[in-house]
Amino acid sequence: MHPSFRRLNEPRILLDDDGHNVFSQLGEDYTKDIDEAVEDCPPNVSTYLLCCGAGRFYYPTKVGKVDPRCRQLVKEHAKGNDPFGYYLGRLRASGKETFVTFRMNDVHNPEDADGWNLPMVREQQPDCIVDQAAIDRGDHDNMNFALDYSHPAVPPYFVRYFAEVLANYQMDGIQLDWMRFPRHLSGTPQEVWAKRDHLTRFMAEIRAMTNAKGIKLFARVPTSLAGCRVLGTEVVEWTRLGLVDAVTAGAFLTSDYFMPIAEMRAAMGAHAVPIYATIEGLHGFQWQSAESVRGLCTGLYESGADGISMFNFPLTGRGLNQEVYAGMIAGIGDPATACRKPLLFSVTQRRWRKDVDLPGILPVTLAVGETFTVALRVPPAALPAGRARLLLQTGGDVRATLNGQALECFQRARAPELFLEYTYDADQPAGLARPRREECRSFRFAPDLLRAGDNELVVHNDTDRPLHLWRINLGLW
């Protein structure tokens, strides 16, 4: 049976590939490069979502323009070849349920002179962005250049290139990625919510197109109903109107160990659709490891996720360590195997987070004599454990108590992390570089001190100087 017949109630592991990691690095034999990328996809991935481009595209479009920095891709188009179409075909032939994912706003480098990511609609009508006034004031934040779906030129532009892709390629579904980047309507939060019908009407138009072709439609949205309100993505109304077959929920460029998925599903009521939780290549300032991926999936399944969507993992794998890529996600398709120890849990970071995201906690500064209290949430499936360790990056001596009990601080003879992880070069700014061993403090305790749910961790600064708390990691074996 072809994967396009995969039922919506079947479990899924989705791999969301930005495409640039392949199309920007094609060699003269592009089929060899794409064949290798398809072979690299782990066998437990059920659904592959291939991005067709951002402001500029990876397929030979007549509606927009091709990314000029993908030089070999441009050469192949001139010869009449279509690496994007070849990639889609090879994915489907390999047995993967294959989607094309569309970034509904991509504002990477919006002012680069070569316009490599400049949407044609913005080139033709520069006033179609969400905050020209901010740019005029000198605020050149990338998000101010996002396309405004309440502008009359923007929805028709996207409809034209959706129609082009749907007419020219075979696929099992498409995803509208509203989280890359998460700004689509101009105005204050109240004005954005008042304009939400612009996005809903657009969803309805695309839904009619996918229905005509007999394929699925997914939407990637914020992790919470509150975040959806900030963004104007009225996901409950979308499900009531039958506009989506499933939702992928996630944060912007970071990962949450827990999400209010149950709240979102309850609000959908009788019209509930599958909700897949997104994890990114990083959690805070840390790259993913096999232990953090399993910890994330354990927490997200407890939160109510119907499956896991991995954003930009091919980019992470190809850029860092392809050899461990498949091992990182082994067993995560089933809650019973995702919780296989060892597991790593981390306290959420504020890095990258936008208004649509759940709040981050770290980093924090502890003044002299100050204490910091945080809830360490442990999923029931992660217990019991045979061993437990805490690692804090503090830059100095601290005391720690967990659920009212003082923890033993001990000197680690090995690297300054609980599990092997990729880190940035040592000359990177604070928080990005691998921490020095002397900056970290490790604590051990009997694992039965932990309870399912929230655990109270209190960090005490007894030094004579302020300390900066960058990371809190809990490891379970």
pLDDT of res. 386: 98
pLDDT of res. 427: 59
Helix 197-213 with 154-168: angle, nearest 10 deg: 20
Alpha-helix runs per DSSP H in 352-458: none
Residue partners of 338: CB distance under 8 A and separation at least 6:
294, 297, 298, 301, 331, 332, 381
Is the pTM higher than 0.75? yes
pLDDT of res. 1: 45
Distances (CA, A) of 113 to 45, 57, 353: 38, 17, 28
Partners of 74 in the β-ladder: none
The 3-state DSSP class for residue 57 equals strand
Contact by Cβ (8 Å): 431, 363: yes
pLDDT in tens, the chain (477 residues): 455 556 777 789 999 999 998 999 999 999 999 999 999 888 999 999 999 998 999 999 999 999 999 999 999 999 999 999 999 999 999 999 999 999 999 999 999 999 999 999 999 999 999 999 999 999 999 999 999 999 999 999 999 999 999 999 999 999 999 999 999 999 999 999 999 999 999 999 999 999 999 999 999 999 999 999 999 999 999 999 999 999 999 999 999 999 999 999 999 999 999 999 999 988 998 888 999 999 999 999 999 999 999 998 765 545 554 455 678 899 999 999 999 999 999 999 999 999 999 999 999 999 999 999 999 999 999 999 999 999 999 999 999 999 999 999 988 766 688 998 766 555 566 556 778 888 899 999 999 999 999 999 999 999 999 999 999 999 999
pLDDT of res. 154: 97
Q: Please give the CATH architecture assigned to the domain spanning 3-340.
A: Alpha-Beta Barrel (3.20)
The residue with tokens 């990182």 is 328
The residue with tokens 């060899």 is 32
Instruction: Identify the CA nearest to 349 among candidates 330, 362, 336, 333.
Output: 362
CA distance 177 to 97: 18
Counting runs of H as helices and runs of E as strands, what totals does the chain give? 16, 21
Contact by Cβ (8 Å): 249, 221: yes
Helix (H) or strand (E) holding 476: strand 471-476
Encoded tokens for 179: 């989280």
Cis, peptide link before residue 222, omega less than 30° from 0: no
Contact by Cβ (8 Å): 74, 65: no
CA distance 96 to 107: 30
The residue with tokens 């920007």 is 24
**Spans of all domains in the chain:** 3-340, 364-476
Residue partners of 387: CB distance under 8 A and separation at least 6:
444, 447, 476, 477
What is 231-288 written as a DSSP string?
HT--HHHHHHTT--SEEEE--SSS--S---HHHHHHHHGGG---EEEEE-SEETTEE-
The 3-state DSSP class for residue 113 equals coil
Cα radius of gyration (the chain)? 23
The 3-state DSSP class for residue 458 equals strand
Sign of the CA dihedral 161, 164, 167, 170?
Answer: negative
The 3-state DSSP class for residue 391 equals strand
Distances (CA, A) of 184 to 160, 177, 179, 195, 420: 18, 11, 10, 10, 39
What is 147-165 written as a DSSP string?
B-TTSTTHHHHHHHHHHHH
CA angle in degrees (0–180, nearest 5) for 414-387-412: 20
Q: 364-476: CATH homologous superfamily? A: Galactose-binding domain-like (2.60.120.260)
CA angle in degrees (0–180, nearest 5) for 41-45-46: 130
Encoded tokens for 126: 């520069």
